[in-house]
Amino acid sequence: MNSTGRDIMRQSTIIAAAVFMIIGAAVGGGAFGGESVTELQNGALSAEGSYLAPAGPAFGIWTLIYLGLAAYTVWQALPAQRDSSRQRAIGWWVAGSMVLNGLWLVTARYLNLVATVIVIAALLAVLARIIVLLGRDRASGLVDLTLFDGVMGLHFGWVTIATVANTAAWLTQTVPAGLGEQADAWGVAVLVVVAVIGAASALVTRRLAPALATSWGLVWAAIGRLSGEPESTPIGITALIVAAIILVAGVIGLLRARRAAR
């Protein structure tokens, strides 16, 4: 197959992956009947499912991410994008992220929490790969910057905190009751690790979008712990501090990127 044929196959695969993601989201989300996402797995995936789960309004970011992915799918299908070096390097990975995105909701509905953790961890790894690859080839314009760097960055940043919450939900359902009594200490410890990884990622990748999405999730996790259930003032305050650290790191990374570009 020549390069044009491979490019058309890539474009078609991304469209198919986007369709699968939408269908998976509809089926997993209960659009065709059944429980909502917050009711799945005995409520483990709801805003009250663990000490690290963001409050309900945080999940509104999915609307922005899905709209961005839909816009990207249309844009990448244009003839002008067929032989783009960025599309060739990253398009297949984006298709994989869409498949895993839709698969997570199907897994949450029909399988178990362990399976959801495996799928979302795989999604996080694929998105991390996309962010690394984006750093090797600068955006060619505003649309490229928005639909590649912006959308993929938000997806990566949100899935980062979603992976933490998903894993916490699984552990909450499985750990002995004695360890559950130490939830504050465990929650704070995990958030410290998130701060280190999130700040390092922002400084190394020099991107603001992932930091914005992760901080968004952390702020809503703090709101959930300070004003909702399960309540935890130590975790809530720590989440706010970590959100600020990651956001500042993201701004510093962006400023460094702009200075290097000059």
Per DSSP, 82 falls in state: T
Identify the burial level of 71 via C-beta atoms within 10 angstroms of its C-beta, where 0-12 means exposed, 13-18 middle and 19 or more buried.
middle
Tens of pLDDT along the chain (262 residues) come to 667 889 999 999 999 999 999 999 888 777 777 787 878 888 888 888 889 999 989 999 999 999 999 999 999 999 999 999 999 999 999 999 999 999 999 999 989 999 999 999 999 999 999 999 998 888 888 999 999 999 999 999 999 999 999 999 998 888 666 655 688 898 999 999 999 999 999 998 888 999 999 999 999 999 999 998 889 999 999 999 999 999 999 999 989 888 877 7
Nearest to residue 163, comparing CAs of 195, 219, 118?
A: 118
Identify the burial level of 33 via C-beta atoms within 10 angstroms of its C-beta, where 0-12 means exposed, 13-18 middle and 19 or more buried.
exposed
Rounded Cα gap, residues 14 and 252, in angstroms? 33
| 230 upstream amide cis, omega within 30 of 0 | yes
Helical ranges in the chain per DSSP H:
3-28, 61-76, 85-110, 113-134, 142-144, 151-174, 177-180, 183-205, 209-227, 233-261
Q: Which two tokens stand for residue 189?
A: 């410890």
User: Is 0.85 surpassed by the pTM of this model?
Assistant: yes
Rounded Cα gap, residues 64 and 119, in angstroms? 21
The set of long-range contacts for 173-182, using a CB threshold of 8 Å and a minimum separation of 24, is 173/41, 173/42, 173/44, 173/113, 174/113
Rounded Cα gap, residues 14 and 29, in angstroms? 22
Domain residue ranges of the chain, discontinuous segments joined by + = 3-182
Per DSSP, 147 falls in state: I
**Helix pair angle (3-28, 61-76), 10° resolution:** 150
> For 153-187, how does the pLDDT look when each residue is reduced to its tens digit (9 = 90+)?
999 999 999 999 999 999 888 866 665 568 889 89
Are 65 and 151 spatial neighbours (Cβ–Cβ below 8 Å)?
Answer: yes
